[in-house]
């Protein structure tokens, strides 16, 4: 008997690399290539260090109100956390508390099985179809809860709001979490459905479309009941999650809708141009509605392309996992970054 038998052992999530070198074309973690809204920098410059003496507002009320205003929900329907990873981890702990398995796709955000293992939540993987679509029937069996991203990651595939609603409607006895990390790049949000379904939790993030991954802001929208349960769990860990500068700067990002539309629009335009140019180089991919492409080449193995790109300082994401080990996930960068990537690929692929 060793003390180690009593340790909660987990296999942690492996995030994409954050290289120290600055000359990298970094297309591996779906960050935004453009800076946050100009008001964010302005707010940072104006901030008074003396204010840091005090604890921040527990509820991040200023940010909650700004988000509630933007999404046309009540502040009671909103929960903020340290990136959507924090919000999702809290939601797993709070809502997935059944002996029955929770359900999520076999190819999806690879943090889900980590949290399920960490919290000892039984889970069952629902295989996506050959073309990476959700099979609705998989979500009609008895379960302890449901989670999936829409659009999905790393596939980029967007499911219709009708399909998502059918899954929610068929599961009134469990919490259904829709992870909308990438919804701002051409998806349709199910936020309007939170009024209709008390058991629906929608999670979003500032890390992609609001260009603030380094600030760590995530949020969830749902019925007051769901949000209250989530807050009870959160306040049992740590009462002050978002720090003061984050709350203040987050508000600036939400309030500049023009800039938000401008940068998401630019990323969408670059993505669509890349689909054409990469197809000419022999790549095929899903019809991504996110800020990344999930691509496979007709001849060259993905792993080889990944390594060759890395050698050139172009970082993309590759997983040596069943079903996706011949795919690359390529974040959409600036036009200039993408042109440099295309120039390299043209040369490399001959």
Q: Where on the chain is the footprint of ligand PMP (CB under 6 A)?
A: 83-85, 109, 149, 153, 179, 181, 205, 207, 213, 218
Min. distance of Cβ 188 from ligand PMP in angstroms?
Answer: 16
The answer to whether the beta carbons of residues 167 and 190 sit under 8 Å apart is no
Give the separation between CA 255 and CA 112, rounded to whole angstroms: 31
Q: Which is nearer to ligand PMP, 213 or 268 (CB)?
A: 213
Q: Which is nearer to ligand PMP, 84 or 143 (CB)?
A: 84
Q: Which is nearer to ligand PMP, 15 or 52 (CB)?
A: 15
Min. distance of Cβ 7 from ligand PMP in angstroms?
Answer: 26
Q: Which is nearer to ligand PMP, 114 or 342 (CB)?
A: 114
Q: Which is nearer to ligand PMP, 138 or 179 (CB)?
A: 179
Q: What are the φ/ψ torsions at residue 187 (nearest 5 degrees)? A: -90, 175
Q: Which is nearer to ligand PMP, 81 or 101 (CB)?
A: 81
The answer to whether the beta carbons of residues 324 and 107 sit under 8 Å apart is yes
User: Which pair of tokens denotes residue 150?
Assistant: 């829409």
Q: Which is nearer to ligand PMP, 68 or 107 (CB)?
A: 107
Tell me if residue 280 falls in helix, strand or coil.
helix
Min. distance of Cβ 76 from ligand PMP in angstroms?
Answer: 22
Going from the C-alpha of 44 to that of each of 48, 140, 287, the distances in angstroms are 9, 48, 38
Min. distance of Cβ 269 from ligand PMP in angstroms?
Answer: 22
The answer to whether the beta carbons of residues 86 and 216 sit under 8 Å apart is yes
Give the separation between CA 339 and CA 350, rounded to whole angstroms: 16
Place of tokens 């009941």: 225
The answer to whether the beta carbons of residues 222 and 77 sit under 8 Å apart is yes
DSSP for 245-269 reads HHHHHHHHHHH-HHHHHHHHHHHHH
Min. distance of Cβ 183 from ligand PMP in angstroms?
Answer: 10
Q: Which is nearer to ligand PMP, 287 or 335 (CB)?
A: 287
- Nearest residue to ligand PMP by CB is 83
Min. distance of Cβ 119 from ligand PMP in angstroms?
Answer: 17
DSSP for 203-217 reads EEESSSTTS-GGG--
CB neighbour list of residue 249: distance below 8 Å, 6 or more residues apart: 36, 40, 43, 44, 212, 215
User: Which pair of tokens denotes residue 347?
Assistant: 């040369």
Tell me if residue 3 falls in helix, strand or coil.
helix
Rg from Cα positions in the chain = 21
Place of tokens 């203040």: 248
Min. distance of Cβ 48 from ligand PMP in angstroms?
Answer: 28
Min. distance of Cβ 344 from ligand PMP in angstroms?
Answer: 25
Q: Which is nearer to ligand PMP, 234 or 297 (CB)?
A: 234
Give the separation between CA 230 and CA 160, rounded to whole angstroms: 27
Min. distance of Cβ 137 from ligand PMP in angstroms?
Answer: 23
């Amino acid at each position: 008997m060793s003390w180690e038998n009593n340790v909660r052992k987990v296999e942690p999530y492996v995030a994409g690399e954050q290289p120290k070198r600055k000359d990298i074309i970094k297309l591996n973690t779906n960050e935004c290539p453009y800076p946050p809204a100009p008001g964010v920098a302005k707010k940072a410059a104006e901030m008074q260090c003396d204010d840091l003496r005090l604890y921040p507002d527990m509820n991040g009320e200023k940010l909650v109100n700004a988000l509630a205003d933007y999404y046309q929900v009540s502040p009671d329907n909103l929960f903020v956390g340290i990136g959507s990873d924090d919000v999702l981890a809290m939601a797993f702990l709070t809502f997935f508390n059944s002996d029955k398995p929770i359900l999520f796709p076999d190819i999806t955000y690879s943090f889900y099985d980590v949290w399920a293992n960490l919290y000892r939540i039984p889970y069952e993987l629902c295989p996506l179809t050959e073309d990476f679509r959700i099979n609705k029937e998989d979500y009609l069996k008895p379960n302890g809860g449901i989670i999936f991203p829409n659009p999905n990651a790393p596939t980029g595939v967007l499911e219709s709001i009708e399909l998502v609603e059918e899954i929610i409607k068929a599961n009134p006895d469990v919490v259904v979490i829709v992870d909308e990390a990438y919804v701002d790049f051409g998806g349709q949000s199910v936020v309007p459905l939170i009024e209709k379904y008390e058991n629906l939790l929608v999670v979003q993030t500032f890390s992609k479309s609001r260009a603030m991954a380094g600030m760590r802001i995530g949020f969830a929208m749902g019925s007051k009941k769901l949000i209250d349960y989530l807050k009870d769990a959160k306040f049992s860990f740590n009462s002050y999650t978002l720090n003061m500068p984050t709350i203040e700067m987050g508000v600036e990002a939400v309030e500049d809708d023009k800039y938000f539309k401008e940068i998401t629009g630019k990323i969408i335009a670059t993505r669509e141009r890349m689909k054409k140019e990469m197809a000419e180089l022999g790549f095929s991919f899903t019809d991504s509605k996110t800020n990344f492409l999930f691509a496979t080449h007709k001849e060259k193995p993905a792993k080889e392309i990944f390594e060759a790109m890395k050698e050139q300082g172009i970082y993309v994401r590759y997983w040596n996992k069943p079903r996706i080990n011949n795919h690359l996930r390529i974040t959409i960068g600036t036009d200039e970054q993408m042109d440099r990537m295309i120039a390299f690929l043209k040369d490399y692929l001959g």
